[in-house]
């Protein structure tokens, strides 16, 4: 039976620490940190994510602004909105929720965000600093995973970590952070992706597996070694008519199959997801401190 890496409990601890910091700021007459989120269109999952980001801000005493734009918004109009947010002095950070409609070039939009306000850490300046091990805004999902490892005092130094998925927001930065100097860090990392051959042979040799591909129940017990640490980033809505919402959130890892073989495992939901939000708030606090 493995130990659960509880992202819900850990993220609540982080939020509690942040809310105490905000209370102290307010008590000394200072304004709280301010985060804005830009949401284009009505995608159900995006609405849920942005909603919980805004609610989390309110809960810990941050100011928050939600900017909703129609999915017919032009790229030029979106860039104008970003420009305004870039120049809004008492706004510390903002995010543009992905994915964007197909007629908008995501890269152009993300590159237009002022790196000092890019609390998602997607701008090349911030990504480059992360790769160099400099202080910066680290993308919230891999940052949350590193924080979970840190708070559970899991030593991954010198261990073999295998990351599944090479996206710019999860897999690639994850592979960099795991291999960076530091604690947690110093792992020997293999980054795998859709063209990887003999994936199961590679994951079987791993002390830690981070799965970020978005295929439900992809990682099974026969793909991992005994006592591996298993981090499940996947979030897929799988249709389920027995569920009131009509779907269930499913991770990349076949949890029931894997849980007895792993030493530590993140559940879905309640693992990496809540940590992502907590680290976005942490990045906003960092932006605030730099902006004050
Ligand atoms: P993505 O679609 O951008 O990337 C998926 C990656 O998986 C690609 O690099 C691809 O090469 C790789 N891949 C696909 N099939 C593969 C296979 N058979 N074997 C090996 N690699 C394969 O996805 P993403 O944005 O990185 O998200 C991945 C998952 O994580 C999704 O389910 C997403 O919803 C979830 N996610 C969760 C959080 C969170 O907060 N928990 C945050 C971001 C993304």
Residue whose CA is at the smallest distance from ligand 1 atom 4 = 167
Res 2 pLDDT > 80: no
Domain ranges of the chain: 30-114, 140-274
Residue whose CA is at the smallest distance from ligand 1 atom 40 = 273
Q: How far is the CA of 19 from the centre of ligand 1 (A)?
A: 32
Q: What is the pLDDT of residue 33?
A: 98
DSSP string, the chain: -PEE--HHHHHHHHHHHHHHHHHHHHHTTPPPPEEEEEEES--HHHHHHHHHHHHHHHHHT-EEEEEEE-TT--HHHHHHHHHHHHT-TT--EEEEPSPPPTTS-HHHHHHHS-GGGBTT--SHHHHHHHHTT-SS---HHHHHHHHHHHHTT---TT-EEEEE---TTTHHHHHHHHHSSSSS---EEEEE-TT-SSHHHHHHT-SEEEE-S--TT-B-GGGS-TT-EEEE---EEEE-TTSTTSEEEE-SB-HHHHTTT-SEE--SSSSHHHHHHHHHHHHHHHHHHHH-
Q: What is the pLDDT of residue 111?
A: 98
Residues 269-282, mean pLDDT to the nearest whole number: 98
Res 1 pLDDT > 70: no
Active site residues: 53, 97, 120
User: What does the pLDDT look like over 223-238, one tens digit per residue?
Assistant: 999 999 999 999 999 9
Stretch among 1-10, 52-61, 255-264 having the lowest mean pLDDT? 1-10
User: What does the pLDDT look like over 35-84, one tens digit per residue?
Assistant: 999 999 999 999 999 999 999 999 999 999 999 999 999 999 999 999 99
Q: How far is the CA of 86 from the centre of ligand 1 (A)?
A: 29
| Mutation probe of ligand 1 site: the residue of 52, 120, 164, 167 with most atoms within 8 A of C-beta | 167
Q: What is the pLDDT of residue 52?
A: 95
Residue whose CA is at the smallest distance from ligand 1 atom 3 = 167
Question: Is domain 30-114 annotated with CATH 3.40.50.300?
Answer: no
CB 145 less than 6 A from any atom of ligand 1: no
What CATH homologous superfamily does 140-274 map to?
A: NAD(P)-binding Rossmann-like Domain (3.40.50.720)
Res 97 pLDDT > 90: yes
Domain 140-274 in the same topology as domain 30-114: yes
| Mutation probe of ligand 1 site: the residue of 213, 247, 248, 252 with most atoms within 8 A of C-beta | 213
Atom of ligand 1 nearest to the CA of 213: 7
CB 193 less than 6 A from any atom of ligand 1: yes
CB 169 less than 6 A from any atom of ligand 1: yes
Res 105 pLDDT > 80: yes
């Amino acid at each position: 039976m493995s130990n659960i890496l509880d992202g819900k409990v850990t993220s609540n601890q982080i939020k509690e620490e942040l809310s105490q910091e905000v209370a102290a700021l307010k008590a000394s007459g200072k304004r709280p940190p301010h985060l804005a989120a830009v949401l284009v269109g009505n995608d159900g999952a995006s609405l849920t994510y942005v909603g919980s980001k805004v609610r989390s801000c309110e809960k810990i005493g941050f100011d928050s602004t939600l900017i909703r734009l129609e999915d017919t918004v032009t790229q030029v109009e979106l860039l104008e909105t970003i420009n305004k947010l870039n120049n809004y002095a008492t706004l510390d950070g903002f995010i543009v929720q992905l994915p964007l409609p197909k007629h908008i070039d995501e890269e152009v939009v993300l590159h237009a965000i002022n790196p000092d306000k890019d609390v998602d850490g997607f701008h090349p300046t911030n990504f480059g600093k992360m790769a160099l091990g400099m202080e910066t805004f680290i993308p919230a999902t891999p940052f949350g995973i590193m924080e979970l490892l840190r708070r559970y005092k899991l030593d991954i130094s010198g261990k073999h970590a295998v990351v599944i998925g090479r996206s710019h927001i999860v897999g690639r930065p994850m592979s960099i952070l795991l291999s960076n100097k530091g604690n947690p860090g110093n792992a020997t990392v293999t980054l795998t992706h859709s063209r990887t051959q003999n994936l199961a042979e590679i994951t079987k040799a791993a002390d830690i597996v981070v799965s970020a591909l978005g295929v439900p129940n992809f990682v099974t017990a026969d793909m991992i070694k005994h006592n591996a640490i298993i981090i499940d980033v996947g979030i897929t809505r799988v249709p389920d008519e027995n569920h009131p919402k009509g779907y269930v959130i499913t991770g990349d890892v076949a949890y029931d199959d894997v849980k007895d073989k792993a030493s530590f495992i993140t559940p879905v939901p309640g693992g990496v997801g809540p940590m992502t939000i907590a680290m976005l708030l942490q990045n906003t606090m960092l932006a605030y401190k730099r902006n004050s």
